[in-house]
Amino acid sequence: MISGEQLIGAQQRRGTVGEFRAFSPVRDAVLEPAFGGGDAADVEQACSLAQAAFDPFRRNLPELRARLLETIAEGLLALGDVLIERAHLESALPLARLQGERLRTVNQLRLFAQNLRDGHWSAATLDAALPGRQPPRPDLRSQKIALGPVAVFGASNFPLAFSVAGGDTASALAAGCPVIAKAHPAHPGTSELVGRVIQQSVRELGLPEGVFSLLHDSDTRLGLALVTHPVIQAVGFTGSRRGGLALQAAAQARPQPIPVYAEMSAINPVFLLPAALQARGEAIAQGFADSLTLGVGQFCTNPGLLVAIDGPELQGFVEAAAALLATKPAGTMLTPGIRAAYDAGAARVREQSGVSTPAEGSAQLCLTDASTFIANPLLHEEVFGPGALLVTCRDRAELLALAESLEGQLTATLQLDEADADLARALLPVLERKAGRILANGFPTGVEVCHAMVHGGPFPASSSALHTSVGSMAIERFLRPVCYQDLPDWLLPPALQNANPLGLWRRLEGKPHPA
Amino acid sequence: MISGEQLIGAQQRRGTVGEFRAFSPVRDAVLEPAFGGGDAADVEQACSLAQAAFDPFRRNLPELRARLLETIAEGLLALGDVLIERAHLESALPLARLQGERLRTVNQLRLFAQNLRDGHWSAATLDAALPGRQPPRPDLRSQKIALGPVAVFGASNFPLAFSVAGGDTASALAAGCPVIAKAHPAHPGTSELVGRVIQQSVRELGLPEGVFSLLHDSDTRLGLALVTHPVIQAVGFTGSRRGGLALQAAAQARPQPIPVYAEMSAINPVFLLPAALQARGEAIAQGFADSLTLGVGQFCTNPGLLVAIDGPELQGFVEAAAALLATKPAGTMLTPGIRAAYDAGAARVREQSGVSTPAEGSAQLCLTDASTFIANPLLHEEVFGPGALLVTCRDRAELLALAESLEGQLTATLQLDEADADLARALLPVLERKAGRILANGFPTGVEVCHAMVHGGPFPASSSALHTSVGSMAIERFLRPVCYQDLPDWLLPPALQNANPLGLWRRLEGKPHPA
């Protein structure tokens, strides 16, 4: 079922540049078949098809896009164990985790299908003409439309939910943007299986073939060619800070710059407030150890930083956490490269002046004080994997200063009790400025796909603090507003016609009105 | 009443770098008083005050920000003729035009005040916990919050509506962002008068002084220092493509890149469809000549490009338009620099191979054919002022090809009758991709401030096709979403508390619900 070919519109074509195979960390061996990397002609053809597909795809009824997403969801489920087993071989992620990730991917596609039918995404807005006003006001209506063909770069750590049919693809297709996916070279087989489901779904629904293509490359060359192709109008990316910044630089250097939505880097601080720590330090230590080691720590929301005011309860917490971490089995990481980067990064933290290491092994817990942390930029960097740093503060003022010193984050967490209310209220405004999601009494791993989710945050968590890559609002990255002034009803798009044929909630004179 | 000082928080301080005076094109002479340009210490102080003001300002009740905007509006009106006369001396814009622009500025401030009370801007979204689901879903709520202190660069051609208290400032303050305005050196006196109204309004309402500062510089040095200061989190700019791109490059080169919302460059194509041209060519010529020469052509929505299929009606149109343009009096432009740039740009168009010039004088109309236009990038560039280019197409296919060849535009206009329906339907998808606003049977000058307005568009019309700089949606540039997971009600911001104390429309499980 896996041929090693690229999917370019309705065709399949073997790339001719730099043959490569997936490496299985489970088997410690390469997997068949061989994949061929694409060349400039492949990029050109995929882009040309995407451009041809763009107007018919975006201007078709939203219902058709909803059915496309649902058909893809059905197709993913129909692949059954074939998909899960290949993803397991390519990523070493456990079968149960991958089954959960598939369900999440399917539910994400279905959520966007449902949202398309609700129509909130189109932001249809009508301001009536005021012919008697001086000067007269014309009839003005606006809606959001698709931005253009989108390049999607799959993530290493979510071969399903953040890859070929993941959140970027689902939200871009929902918006009406054709997608050209660049498969992650760590899971090209999984990518092809998923890509074929999308290709087949596009065909079944009679949509233009250029709605979707899948390209391969084991290097960065093809990705840069894609991002700099004039047809591409936006980029979705989940991965390293270095990778995201390289795409961003390429996108900005184009004659026409385009937005790059790169979800990059976070250490996800968890603040252990005094009353909570006193009341339930052991339970917090258990929750922390579980969250830190979940999936061998390979989550962008992994809790890499703990912050607390020093005291006897904290000593107990550290001992409990270290003991719990010592019981965690060593896990196989996604790729040998990620393992090597984690080992080097974890060692670098241990070697910093003023840092001690209460737990070292399958998972690592280091310890330092606030002034050391604030002064050393290296300690603010993400180490992707099961390592965390606990920073002790002298007092409340130092804890607030530490919060202010943080870079942008995907999440910030408060472990708090009612007796911590004053400190929590003082911290909250700082954390709002620093993070996209703020949690109380939980742990940041686990990102719900729903309307209120924000998976993003100030730089470097994301390249655009204005957007989220998970949840209903993710579609906003791929839409732009267009205003129509005095157009005759027969020329207006359906969302804005007088009769409201799509049955949308629309804003009339600024107020929401049901159909 | 005009001292030549900068306004830094509650203080006034004379800049010490590069003294300069406004030049009056009306009097052909400089105006008193002298202004002092700011230095790095002024930028530092304004930014430091803005940062200190940020949390209290954004977290205060939206009602307080609404009252700030209304107080500023009242203050602008209370300045009376002093403001209009100084703006007239500095810009040569007629008094009646400036009175209209003041009313627009005041109405814009009031619209954002009203929007703040409606609460749609906050996008409050609630998804309830599902404790019985496997895995359990936490309680998730999100709202949009202010992005951070904003730098606003005033435009030369709207000393009121796109300057110190213009659309960028109004929408940033509405969002809860402190504003540091850089006065345009062509109208520093108008800027100071308006700035003092804002400074006084901040004081009257007891808001932190750092909510607003006004800095001067006759050069680009201070502006770049402002954009690269770590406190600044977004930039609003209306002006030239070159200026916008310079700010964008500086913002992207920061350790933490920030968004620049630059409204830059457009030629605003007007398509004269055959039936409309036949039925009312003279009326269209009249509307065009009036729109082209309004305000000496100094509008970003000036109709700089006409497109039509060749034929006898078109010859009649050209003759009528040329005759009408010849009757238009020569106008005084905003600055000698703008006059020189227009004269040079208009001459450059005339000198291009394949271009003829049926009307030359106070306003210019040039003529060329589609293949010449498509092949010559210079003819696609904006010439700021009362000059237009009419491009003749052989047929419908060439007209569509021309539309495809256009860069991003603020507006695109169709002059059409019902008999033009087929061609209009074929053009509309192309124009949707090219422009932020599409008009039928009007002219693009005149930008209504309302909910449905889009003043922006694909590059180079704007640096962000996702946003508008005019109308209710302009506030979205200065907001970012934050998600709150399982926060106790007492810690949640008011917009998201169970009791809905602000009385907002909120989205519950994706559906809008009134308070």
Q: Tens digit of pLDDT for each residue in B329-341?
A: 999 999 999 999 9
Average pLDDT taken over every residue of chain A: 97
Sheet strands side by side (includes A356-359): A356-359, A364-369, A387-393, A305-309, A269-272, A409-415, A435-440, B479-485, B140-146, B125-127, B506-508, B511-513
Q: Assign A323 a pLDDT band (cuts: 50, 70, 90).
A: very high
Question: Is residue A300 among the annotated active site residues?
Answer: yes
pLDDT band at residue B168, thresholds of 50, 70 and 90?
Answer: very high
* Both tokens assigned to A121: 């995404």
Q: How many CB atoms lie within 10 A of CB B319?
A: 15
Q: What is the pLDDT confidence band of residue A195, given thresholds at 50, 70 and 90?
A: very high
DSSP-H helix ranges across B351-481: 370-375, 396-405, 421-434
Decide if pLDDT at A399 tops 90.
yes
Q: From the list B256, B432, B454, which residue is nearest A459 (CB)? A: B256
Residue A118 contacts residue B511 (beta carbons within 8 Å): yes
A56 to chain B: closest CA residue:
B429
| pLDDT tens-place string over residues A24-36 | 999 999 999 999 9
CA distances to A167, A361, A495, B14, B187 from B20, in Å: 54, 66, 52, 12, 11
- What's the Cα-to-Cα distance from A117 to each of A145, A503, B512, rounded to whole Å? 15, 9, 14
Given this model, what pLDDT does residue A110 score? 98
Which residues of chain A lie closer than 8 angstroms to B461, CB-CB?
A: none
* pLDDT at position B187: 98
Sequence ranges of the domains in chain B: 6-264+464-477, 269-440
How many residues does this entry show for chain A? Answer: 515
Closest to B118 in 3D by CA, of B62, B167, B176: B62
Q: What is the ipTM of this complex?
A: 0.97
Q: Is A369 helix (H, G, I), strand (E, B) or coil?
A: strand
Query: What was the pLDDT predicted at A335?
Result: 95
Average pLDDT over residues A293-318: 96
Q: How confident is the model at residue A512 (pLDDT cuts 50, 70, 90)?
A: confident
The tokens of B358 are what?
């049926």
Contact (Cβ atoms closer than 8 angstroms) between residue B180 and residue B47: yes
Residue B413 Cα, gap to closest chain A Cα (Å) = 9
Which superfamily does CATH assign the domain made up of A269-440 to?
Answer: Aldehyde Dehydrogenase; Chain A, domain 2 (3.40.309.10)
Q: In Å, how far is B268's CA from the nearest CA of chain A?
A: 14
**Can you give the length of chain B in residues?**
515
pLDDT score of B1: 85
Cα of B394 to nearest chain A Cα, Å:
24
Give the one of A439, A452, A466 whose C-beta lies nearest to B480's C-beta.
A466
Q: What are the backbone dihedrals phi and psi of residue B451, each rounded to the nearest 5 degrees, phi first?
A: -75, -35
Distance from the first to the final alpha carbon of chain A: 46
Please count the other Cβ atoms lying within 10 Å of the Cβ belonging to residue B28: 9
Which pLDDT does position A325 carry in this prediction?
97
Residue A46: its pLDDT value, please?
98
Instruction: Work out the pLDDT band at B134, boundaries 50, 70, 90.
Output: confident
| Interchain pair B482, A454: CB under 8 A | yes
Strand partners, A143: A482
pLDDT in tens, A407-448: 999 999 999 999 999 999 999 999 999 999 999 999 999 999
Please identify which residue in the block is written with the tokens 């439309």: A145
**Do the bridges between strand B234-238 and strand B150-153 make them parallel or antiparallel, or are there none, so unpaired?**
parallel
Q: Write down the residue that tokens 């205060």 correspond to.
A: B60
**Distance between CA atoms of residues A165 and B17, nearest Å:** 56
pLDDT of residue A515 exceeding 80, the answer is no
The reply to whether B269-440 shares the fold of B6-264+464-477 is no
| Contact flag B487-A440 (C-beta cutoff 8 Å) | yes
CA distance B339 to A352: 62
pLDDT by residue (tens digit) across A199-254?
A: 999 999 999 999 999 999 999 999 999 999 999 999 999 999 999 999 999 999 99
pLDDT exceeds 80 at position B515: no
Work out the percent of chain B whose per-residue pLDDT is above 90: 97
The residue written with tokens 């006409």 in the block is B306
The whole-number pLDDT of residue A309 equals: 98
DSSP state of B240: -
B259-316 pLDDT tens trace: 999 999 999 999 999 999 999 999 999 999 999 999 999 999 999 999 999 999 999 9
Give the number of A-B residue pairs with CB atoms closer than 8 Å: 211
Distance of alpha carbon B203 from alpha carbon B394, whole angstroms? 63
Among A358, A386, A395, A389, smallest CA distance to A372 is for: A389
CA atoms of B323 and B286, how far apart (whole Å): 10
- Confidence grade of residue B513 (pLDDT, cut at 50, 70, 90): confident
pLDDT of B471: 97
Residue B506: per-residue pLDDT: 94
Quickly list H helices, B40-129: 40-59, 62-78, 81-91, 95-118
How many CB atoms sit inside 10 A of residue A205's CB? Answer: 16
The 10s digit of each residue's pLDDT in A50-97 is 999 999 999 999 999 999 999 999 999 999 999 999 999 999 999 999
Residue of B nearest to A450 (CA): B127
A 10 A CB-CB count for A81 gives: 10
Closest alpha carbon within chain B to A505 = B512
CB neighbour list of residue A484: distance below 8 Å, 6 or more residues apart: A140, A141, A142, A143, A492, A493, A496, B437, B438
Name the band, by pLDDT with cuts 50, 70 and 90, for residue A124: very high
Considering only residues A179 and B512, tell me which one the structure prediction assigns the higher pLDDT: A179
Confidence class of residue A513 from pLDDT cuts 50, 70 and 90? Answer: confident
Q: Is B148 helix (H, G, I), strand (E, B) or coil?
A: coil
A353 is written with which tokens? 């002046």
Contacts of A505 in chain B (CB under 8 A): 512
Contacts of B448 in chain A (CB under 8 A): 127, 137-138, 140
Parallel/antiparallel/unpaired status of strands A212-215 and A23-24: unpaired
Task: Identify the CA nearest to B303 among candidates B407, B445, B416.
Answer: B445
Please give the CATH number for the structural domain made up of B6-264+464-477.
3.40.605.10
User: For residues A40-57, b (16+ Cβ closer than 10 Å) or e, as one string?
Assistant: eebbebbbebbbbbbbeb
Beta bridge partners of A237: A153, A262
Candidate from B118, B137, B441 with C-beta closest to A510? B118
Q: Is the dihedral of CA A180, A184, A185, A189 positive or negative?
A: negative
Subunit contact B451:A491, Cβ cutoff 8 A: no
Residues of chain A with pLDDT > 90, as a percent, come to 97
> Do you find a cis peptide bond into A159, omega within 30 degrees of 0?
no
What is the topology classification, in CATH, of domain A10-128+147-264+464-477? Aldehyde Dehydrogenase; Chain A, domain 1 (3.40.605)
Q: Which residues contact A464 (CB under 8 A, 6 or more apart)?
A: A259, A260, A261, A456, A477, B259
Q: Report pLDDT for A320.
A: 97
pLDDT (tens digit, 9 = 90+) per residue, A49-63? 999 999 999 999 999
Going from the C-alpha of B513 to that of each of B141, B382, B492, B504, the distances in angstroms are 14, 46, 19, 9
Q: Measured between alpha carbons, how far is A202 from A197 in angstroms, rounded to an integer?
A: 9
Specify the residue for token string 């052991």.
A282
Task: Report, as an integer, the average pLDDT of B135-144.
Answer: 96
